[in-house]
Amino acid sequence: MFCSPLFLGIILLNIEFDAANRVFGFLDSIEGLYLADIVFSLMFILPLYLFVFALRRKREIETLVSQAGTDSLTGVLNRRRALEILINEVRRSHRSGSPLSLIVFDIDHFKLINDTYGHPTGDRVLQQFVRSVGQYVRSYDYLARIGGEEFMLIVTETDGDLATDIAERLRLQVETESFGLDRAVTASFGVSQLRKGESYADLMHRTDERLYWAKNEGRNRVVGPSAGKS
């Protein structure tokens, strides 16, 4: 019922303008000249376009994934990604029996640096701090920024004593580094080795306690498993 007027209109247009013959004539005129070229071009260009689009999309996704796990200021891992890695490393250590240690450290009196020199200078200190300690981070360890001026180093395949030595090297590196200020920049460190059956949260809590002791005992020092504390 509703289609009858449409069909009638098409028939009238065809009679008036000879539309069907015009359309078929146009197709006949390009068939020999352009149709093969158009089809060939589409067969070549379309897959190439799809490939380039897919490659670009893949790179965009990789960039987003990388940014999601990276601290935007310093370029090291952020807290969320570091905790994911720490959880996995704790599980792996319990399964394999291999040692795992954790170093938590922060810059001493960093708020004073921000208040005295301004936040842009504080940001520059953070960036240089990461570059400085990054020289001593092994390829199979993980450095992360987990707070404003607080950092974490997940030290794989390493017991507490060796991790304490690594922390001491980091401390000395920071202490002797020139940050372009009229005062020295130092850092305090807490070190712990994963215990049998211990969770990642307990390991972090114990390491945070040792960092607190390091700061309470005067800062610019390392407190590790051999410090005679829990």
Q: Which residues are catalytic?
A: 149
Cα 149–chain centre separation: 18
- Alpha-carbon distance 50 to 72, whole Å? 32
In single-letter form, the type of residue at position 13 comes to: L
- Alpha-carbon distance 158 to 224, whole Å? 13
- Alpha-carbon distance 103 to 166, whole Å? 9
Burial class (CB in 10 A: 0-12, 13-18, 19+), 55: exposed
**Would residue 97 be called left, alpha or beta, if left means φ above 0 and alpha means ψ between -120 and 50 degrees?**
left
Residues with Cβ < 8 Å from 212, sequence gap 6 or more?
A: 190
- Alpha-carbon distance 121 to 100, whole Å? 35
In single-letter form, the type of residue at position 189 comes to: F
